Structures are given as C-alpha cells and as structure tokens.
Amino acid sequence: MSKRIIFTGAEVFDGTGSAPRRCDITIEDGRFLEIGTSLDGDEVVDLTGSTVLPGLFDCHVHVTSSGIDFMRHIQSPFSYQFYQAEQNLMATLACGITTVRDASGADLGVQRAVEDGLIKGPRLQISVTALSQTGGHGDGWMPSGCVIPHSIPHPGRPAGIVDGPVEARKKVRELARAGANVIKVFTSGGVLSPRDNPRHAHFRDDELDAIVIEATALGMFVMAHAQATDGIKSAIRAGIRSIEHGIFLDAEAIEMMLDKGTWLVPTLVAPKAVIDAAEMGLSVPESSVQKAKEVMEVHKESFTQAVKAGVKIAMGTDSGVGPHGNNLEELYLMEQGGMPIYDVLAATTSSAAKLLGWDEQLGTIEPGKRADLVVLEGPLGSTLQGIKSKIKKVYKDGVCVSS
C-alpha cells in the first residue's frame, strides 16, 4: 500500500517565478498529490524554518568529463571516465540538481544505469556526441598531429565530425540509433579547442538545415554551441532550439531570438572555470586561457542585454569544464548579470523543464508532477550567492537521495 507523505511548515517556491509562500505538500507514489493547508497523510516531515524548491535543472553538463587537465586526460584509461561519471552524477545530485541535459559524452549506458538504479544521479537527457565540422570546436586535431577529441568514440558514442549536408543527415540518424534524446552541434569555434576562433561561425546553412530537418523528423530538438555572432544567427535561422553560451550576441541576434522564440543557455561560469583551472596549475593550453580571459566581460554583457530584452533563458553550466557539484555558482552569476532572483530560480526549474520538453512532468511543484524537491535551511534570502551551503536534503521522485 502506498504511503502519503506530508511536508509541512516550509516556505515553498513553486517554480513559476512567484515569491515563496507558506504551504504544505503531499507526495504519494513519487508524485505531488496536493499543495495547500491542513492536508492529511501517513507520515509528516516537519520543515518549519526551511525553504522548499522544485528539483533543479542544469541544461548543459558533461558528466563523463572531469576537468580540462589535458595531460591527465590523455593519460587516463578509456573506461576511467565512466567511473568518474558516477562521482560526477552524485556531486550534481547533492547540489539539488535532479535533471540534467548532457551536452556530449554521456552515452545510453550512463543514462540507463541511472534509470535502473545501478548508480545514483539526476535523470539525464543525452546528446551522446556533438557534431563538428572539420577543424571545428569538436575536432581534436593538435599541431603535433595527435588527435585528442572531447570524447573518444566507441560503439555507443559515434564520432561527431561531419562535412556537408549528406554526412550531417546520416550522423543525426546514427546518434538517434545510439540513444540520443537531443542533437548538439557546434556552430562556432570555442575557448578550449586550439585550432579555431570563438568569433568564427562554423557549418553552412545547408548543413544546419539538414541537421534540424532530420532531428525534427526524429522528434528531437537541436542545441547549438554558438559563441560567434554569425554562428548564433546561423543557428537561429536554421530553427535550432537553444543557443549555448551566446558570448557574442548583438542587437540583431537578440531580436532574432525573440522573433523565433529561441532559448539562451548562458553558462557564465564556464570561462571562469578555465581561468581557475590554469591558476591552479593544471595543464590548460595557453591559447584557451587567453580566449577565456578575452570573452568573460563580453559574455556577461551579452547575457545582461538578453535579460533586458526578454530572451527565454534556462540555466546551464558546462560542468565538466569546471568541477561537478559547483553548478549553483551559475545562479549568482546570473543574478549579477541583472536577472532577478526569482527569475533565476525559474530559469533553473520551470523554464529549464520547458526547454527540455519535460515541463508536463517536472519543473514546478504542482499535483501530478514528479516529486523532486530541494530543501534549503532558512529563508531564501536576498541573494543566491552561496545557495549550495543552504541545501539540507534533496528528493527525487519522492525519495530522499541526498542529505
């Protein structure tokens, strides 16, 4: 017989962007049953003095990546990444994130291991491998002639380099076969890739059109690593659902995003993570460190302009570049970039769920949805700085998974 659990006494932020309010929550069979006052149940959890949030989202992570120390990366056994992924997933869950979109690296085996309870972690939406043109952000060719890809291909993770619409179309089908839930494409250069420039657009329109058409036919959205202004605009024209990073936004790109309803996943913490890693003495290429320093301020300004214009925003961190478990640092950077606190939290809950297409099941505290909860010690406060230190418990599908 199922047990009805009541959480009482807390201030509840329901995920919609409204201010927290005092109410009770009942959970049964892993779903929210009622939200209100004077509710009945079989077990009472007293949360007086606490604040409750819906389970949080991170829409851009790499759970099989554990930092950007290139020497360590090339000296690690191939399978080591999957054991590290278990630790990364648990660290992510412990900071209140119960759902992630993996932006390349995690394969069907990682996703299924979480679903089947073999390992503990947030539920995953996976892209498996990101698509790159030759010489693009996903091309691991080094000046020495060695190739160090972001994620080494294996039978469940196809190689991602494609050139021309025919190759692009076929690769989307291969990724769907491998279990991808979303397609990721690099439409510009990036910070960590040594042989390209974040200001340069990648892929031509016919290639991007083929990717989007094929993904749409397979029932999948497309996300674009897009830092360059032209690469952002190419992605928007093609109908890609979300712009990841969006460093060099301009007024025209923002207007195009508003017109098309395109999402922004800013990952403000990512360039900072590159600089921090270098300062810690890790073997990060100097070209990457220099590019990270060059983009930090313009990245923040682009985000601020997008917020002012009303662009749809969902939280993402690029964790894997920086440490897993530090994901909530992004919230304070979003706040510093001009986004009101409740809007930041909505971007990390209900808006993120909409971006992923999972808003019917997740993202808000309301009857019928899956019972993911984050319990914070004390009131929410006037800033999101240090919010991770307030986390007392995390629930996923009504079960306490971290305390």
The amino acid present at 268, given as its one-letter code, is L
Q: Which of 277, 286, 265 is nearest to 326 (CA)?
A: 277
State the pLDDT at residue 15: 96
State the pLDDT at residue 281: 80
State the pLDDT at residue 276: 86
What does DSSP assign to residue 97? E
Chain centroid, CA 386 distance in Å: 19
Strands 399-402 and 391-396: antiparallel
pLDDT at 1 > cutoff 70: no
Its pTM surpasses 0.75: yes
Domains of the chain: 4-54+363-402 (2.30.40.10), 56-327 (3.20.20.140)
DSSP H helix total and E strand total for the chain: 12, 19
pLDDT in tens, 295-304: 899 999 999 9
**If you average pLDDT over residues 81-109, what whole number do you get?**
98
pLDDT at 373 > cutoff 80: yes
Alpha-carbon torsion, ordered 182, 179, 68, 356, to 10 deg: 30
Angle at 299 between CA 298 and CA 304, to 5 degrees: 95
Give yes or no for a contact between 265 and 299, defined as CB atoms under 8 angstroms apart. Answer: no
Please tell me whether residue 167 adopts helix, strand or coil conformation: helix
pLDDT at 142 > cutoff 90: no
The amino acid present at 293, given as its one-letter code, is K
pLDDT in tens, 320-353: 999 999 999 999 999 999 999 999 999 999 999 9
Model confidence at 144, pLDDT cuts 50, 70, 90, reads: confident
What does DSSP assign to residue 319? B
Query: Exposed, middle or buried: residue 190 (CB in 10 Å: 0-12, 13-18, 19+)?
Result: buried
Q: Is the dihedral of CA 45, 48, 50, 55 positive or negative?
A: positive
Model confidence at 196, pLDDT cuts 50, 70, 90, reads: confident
What is the maximum span of the chain, computed from C-alpha positions, in angstroms? 69
Q: Which of 401, 381, 317 is nearest to 390 (CA)?
A: 381
Question: Helix 251-260 to helix 286-309 angle, to the nearest 10 degrees?
Answer: 60
Joined tokens for residue 276: 């921090």
> Phi and psi (nearest 5°) for 193?
-85, 130
Give yes or no for a contact between 375 and 392, defined as CB atoms under 8 angstroms apart. Answer: yes
